[in-house]
Structure 1
Amino acid sequence: MSRLFALVVALLTLCLPAFASADQADVDAAARGVVRVVIIGTDGREVYPVSHGSGFAVTSDTIITNAHVVREALLDDTLTIAVVPSEGDEAEYAKAISVDPRTDLALIRINGPLRLPRLTIAGRTDPDSGEVSSVGYPMNVDRAQGLEIGDIFKSQPPVKSRGFISGARPARQFDSILHTAPIARGNSGGPLLDGCGRVIGVNSFGADSEGGDAEFYFAVSTRELLPFLRKNGIEPSVNSLPCRSMAELDAAERDRMEREQAEARRALMERTNTLSRQRERAQLEAEIAVMTERENAMAIAALLLILSLASGFVAWQSRAEGNERRIMIAGTLSGLAMLGALGFWFTRPGLADIDGRVAATMQGSEDDDPADPALADGGTMICSLVESRSRVTSAMTDDVEFGWAEGGCVNERTQYGLSAGDWTRVLVPDDEDAVSVNRYDPATRTFRTDRYLLSRSAMANARAERSKYSPPKCGEENAAARLGDMQAAVIGLLPNAPNERLVYSCNVRKPDPTVKVLQAPTDE
């Protein structure tokens, strides 16, 4: 039976679509908010662990776990609850604020200053298949490591295991998810994550395994979790967007760029052909017009010349006859006709005029650039998320107000850096373990945010590098290039790929008062 189960799992691995595969970076990011929930007793001199489970942050100081994990502490007032984070030495006491034995859910709040990155809950209906990850603190791993009793109070990374969803079904009076991502005692209360590191369930218990039977595990469904949180005044981070890998997103972006480049080449070729046809037509029309005007001018000049000669002959004859009046009239007419003939001859269009007329005709067409010149300086814009080009696991997706000015000044106060042709601003906040790299492309009005969800140690390094410089203000000499150089050290510390990518399309329009709009983020 165990071999048959292994074969089924292998076939599922091959057949499941790419989006079902868990991204390790997303699981690692979610693990930052997973904690060990320890029930503590005391003999009056020392404190000692009685039992432990797992939990995860739904706000910075509020944790979800199983009701059965904290049951002993609720029944015995000599026992207390402690929370041990995955990083640092900031274990704190906690207090149960709501318990629902029916759904096996409990909400506890940290008493001390410890703050945790909250996990995002998948807003879609629980899937029927796909790869999932369990994250928590199984006791059998502690024993295998030879951990002493006191070690349970020390921060340690949680254990991650992978499996597949086997289906959704009711169990023990609550809606649950059946899956194969291994859990053990101590995992209770930890999250079950989808491929993007979002919570789809709260691990609760495992099915009994006899002999070689395959093992299955149950997690409380988000159909139970979300109402429980909202009933207790907790508005969790919920994300309902499709789960796409960064590799899939990058491949789609490459395809999009190739299509756009091919379309641009096609449009350029079509425009070139159109201009060529227009030039040929303009050339023919100019040649006909110039030659016609030349011939007409030469014909008129010839007629005037004949008239001049004839008038001169009459004047000459009139002189022999002594007719002064006829001499004056004929002589004047001869002179005017000669001047007219010379004028038409020397002012007739030359062959060189053909090129000039062609250039004048084509100037309007060739200067008609299809690109929008306003794109370079957008003014105040509203930027909306382009879902098809984005990968969002936890970030807010509201519209962003973005005011761009020449020189890289945003919203009239935040300078963007210029490096290798990219306008960027690196944000390293003190209140969140995430670094954001914002980019703006004035040519396409595209605003992009890459978010890196970092561990505490990695975040400390990023903050240390960020503290070494003060960004120049808008309008300072060479501000964009200087900031581009300053930010390089922080960017060099970041992983190769971000956890999230939010791509926005920006357009000049008035904000809709019914739609929430954020200002472009800044660290100033």
Structure 2
Amino acid sequence: MTLILRLLIALASLAAAPLALAEPADIAAASRGVVRVVLVAKDGESVQYVGHGSGFAVTPTLVVTNAHVVADARNADTMLIGVVPSEGTSGYLAKVIAYSPRNDLALLRLIDKGTIPALTLFPGAVDDGSEVYAVGYPGNVDLAQGLSLAEIVEPQSAVKTRGYISAGRSSRQFETLLHTAPVGSGNSGGPLLDSCGRVIGVNSFGTLSEGADSEFYFAVSLREVIGFLREAGVTPRIAGMPCRSLAELDRAESQRLASEQAQSDAQARRQSAAGEKSRAEAQRRAELAVIAERENAMALAALLLVAALAAGGVAFVVEQRGDRRMALIAGGAGVALVLVAIVAWLLRPPLESIDERAAASLSSAEPRAAAATSAQADAGAFVCVFDPARSRATVSEVADVQLAWSAGGCVNGRTQYGLANDGWSRVLAPNDEATVSVNRYDPATRTYQAERFLLGLEAMNAARDARSAMKAPACGVDEATAREFGAGLQSIKALLPPHPNERLVYKCQPR
């Protein structure tokens, strides 16, 4: 096989291989926690721009960046550090509270009152060839746009570039990740994200390119970052679940539903066959019982007629002997026996009663099965256990959920759910978090689900306004009120993107 043919086969195999593409909403959500770190020198009333880098929030008030970004400001009283988020109306002053030039990391704390959405860190292994995103504020983009100093310190969206992890090579000074997501001067300190928008490193420096040489970039590894934060007494938000796309999750869910439907159909066929067998058995038992009762009645009638004939014979004999009294007694006994024989004959069960008896036998067993089925949907207290196979958790910590469900849609005795075509649900749009949660509970399957939408400032404010315009009813409402509330919740759901960032599914069992 020639070299050209082998190369063509290799290229074809690469083209056929599925690409692990990121969810754009995940990268966009993470980008809202990336900031521009600006250094300015103040001389009296004048302010001079010194330079900038990037950073990202690990808590609402703490920002990670590179040590070299803020090195000039550490001991300069006339130099200020500004943190400019991607959204809002202004930036914040900050100060350095931890500094580690060994691995090029620094930690800033906001001085001004304000918060920034915190990013989530992924502590797992990053495979060679994994798709990654670099997010930050490259200076060459600012230069191309012709931004002034006043515009640089205004909130602006971060720049996102895509690349891949390249082998497992690291710098010798500290542990790094080598990747191909382009970064420029000003990206330093910005995060390197995985396909789910979780931080796997901090962009630090790149290779020098000469001529046609390819450029590669180095990011401080998360192991270095977590150790640095631990020494600073900071506990970041960490999520270690594998990164799955919503499309992959939906395919798995469709396969699961199809499998469950197939099992349900098979179970229905088995139950139908068992039902037919039960009906046949009930029919056979009823037929045997009716036939036995008819034969017993007819035999009894025959015996009574024989006894009546015997009594008549006795009456005739004693009448001939002149004992009229005994003849009357014997004759009366014979007549009575004939009447009883007739009654026994008439009371024998008809053949038509076979079907009625079979149906009555089956109906006596059905209420028990129906009661067992309805008990599965009863209200009560449950422990809902996280189901990772059916979930996509990118930034949230997952734990078991305690849930008390009332038949009217009341959860934990204080939160009323609305009822609509998509079942029981409640929409939460808190003021202190840029996340809208649509929580659902299906009492028939005992499944609790939380879909989380990580929204930008404008979309979040719209959801909050829609929520504020609604008055949630107290627990214990009737179905009509629950449906009216459920219809109102649809107005908030209509403002949300078509797909959530996270889908957390729990299977509930009685406590």
Normalised by the shorter chain, which TM-score bucket?
Answer: over 0.9
Given the alignment of the two structures, is residue 390 of structure 1 paired with residue 391 of structure 2, yes or no?
Answer: yes
**Per-residue deviation at 1:47?**
2.0
Given the alignment of the two structures, is residue 492 of structure 1 paired with residue 503 of structure 2, yes or no?
Answer: no
**Per-residue deviation at 1:157?**
0.2
TM-score (norm 2): 0.94
Which 5+ residue runs of structure 2 have no aligned equivalent? 1-7
Give 3-state SS (helix, strand or coil) of 2:116's partner: coil
Asked if the contact 1:16/1:130 (under 8 Å) is kept, the reply is no
TM-score (norm 1): 0.92
1:118-174 CA distance string (max 9 Å, x none): 000002123322110000000011111121222111111000000000033331511
Give 3-state SS (helix, strand or coil) of 2:242's partner: coil
1:380-436 CA distance string (max 9 Å, x none): 111110000000011120111100011101111110000015100000100000000
Asked if the contact 1:434/1:453 (under 8 Å) is kept, the reply is yes
1:456-485 CA distance string (max 9 Å, x none): 011011111111011000123433112102
Q: Which residue of 1 aligns with 2:470?
A: 469
CA distance in 2, matches of 1:121, 1:287: 73
Aligned length: 502
Q: Which residue of 1 aligns with 2:21?
A: 21
CA distance in 2, matches of 1:168, 1:455: 35
Change in Cα spacing, 1:23 to 1:379, as seen in structure 2 (3 Å) is: same
Q: 2:510 aligns with which of 508, 511, 516?
A: 508
Give 3-state SS (helix, strand or coil) of 1:423's partner: strand
How does 1:372-451 map onto structure 2 within 5 Å? 372-451=373-452
CA distance in 1, matches of 2:430, 2:200: 28
Asked if the contact 2:238/2:397 (under 8 Å) is kept, the reply is no
Which 5+ residue runs of structure 1 have no aligned equivalent? 1-6, 510-524
Give the letter aligned to residue 408 of structure 2. Answer: G
Given the alignment of the two structures, is residue 280 of structure 1 paired with residue 280 of structure 2, yes or no?
Answer: yes
Change in Cα spacing, 1:74 to 1:16, as seen in structure 2 (3 Å) is: farther
Give the letter aligned to residue 244 of structure 1. Answer: R
How does 1:126-205 map onto structure 2 within 5 Å? 126-205=126-205
**Per-residue deviation at 1:319?**
3.2
Give 3-state SS (helix, strand or coil) of 1:128's partner: coil
Give the letter aligned to residue 459 of structure 1. Answer: M
**Per-residue deviation at 1:362?**
1.9
How does 1:448-459 map onto structure 2 within 5 Å? 448-459=449-460
**Per-residue deviation at 1:339?**
2.8
Change in Cα spacing, 1:504 to 1:10, as seen in structure 2 (3 Å) is: farther
Give the letter aligned to residue 506 of structure 1. Answer: C
Asked if the contact 1:415/1:479 (under 8 Å) is kept, the reply is no
**Per-residue deviation at 1:352?**
2.2
Change in Cα spacing, 1:151 to 1:421, as seen in structure 2 (3 Å) is: closer
Asked if the contact 2:123/2:223 (under 8 Å) is kept, the reply is no
Give 3-state SS (helix, strand or coil) of 1:163's partner: strand
CA distance in 2, matches of 1:41, 1:49: 6
Give 3-state SS (helix, strand or coil) of 1:27's partner: helix
Give the letter aligned to residue 426 of structure 1. Answer: V
**Per-residue deviation at 1:288?**
2.3
Give 3-state SS (helix, strand or coil) of 1:424's partner: strand
Give 3-state SS (helix, strand or coil) of 1:376's partner: coil
**Per-residue deviation at 1:239?**
0.6
CA distance in 2, matches of 1:152, 1:319: 137
**Per-residue deviation at 1:501?**
0.5
Q: Which residue of 2 aligns with 1:356?
A: 356
Give 3-state SS (helix, strand or coil) of 1:174's partner: coil
1:476-516 CA distance string (max 9 Å, x none): 3433112102211111000000000000011112xxxxxxx
Give the letter aligned to residue 440 of structure 1. Answer: Y
Asked if the contact 1:466/1:490 (under 8 Å) is kept, the reply is yes
Q: Which residue of 1 aligns with 2:483?
A: 481
CA distance in 1, matches of 2:476, 2:30: 40
Name the stretch that deviates more: 391-400 or 162-171.
162-171
**Per-residue deviation at 1:233?**
1.1
Asked if the contact 1:416/1:425 (under 8 Å) is kept, the reply is yes
Asked if the contact 2:408/2:477 (under 8 Å) is kept, the reply is no
CA distance in 2, matches of 1:11, 1:322: 124
Once the two structures are aligned, what percentage of the paired residues are identical? 50
1:69-125 CA distance string (max 9 Å, x none): 001111422111000000111211000000100110000011112201100000212
**Per-residue deviation at 1:306?**
2.9
Change in Cα spacing, 1:246 to 1:199, as seen in structure 2 (3 Å) is: same
CA distance in 2, matches of 1:129, 1:113: 41
Asked if the contact 2:42/2:80 (under 8 Å) is kept, the reply is no
Change in Cα spacing, 1:378 to 1:267, as seen in structure 2 (3 Å) is: same
**Per-residue deviation at 1:12?**
9.6
1:3-49 CA distance string (max 9 Å, x none): xxxx9x9889746655x322211000100100000001123223232
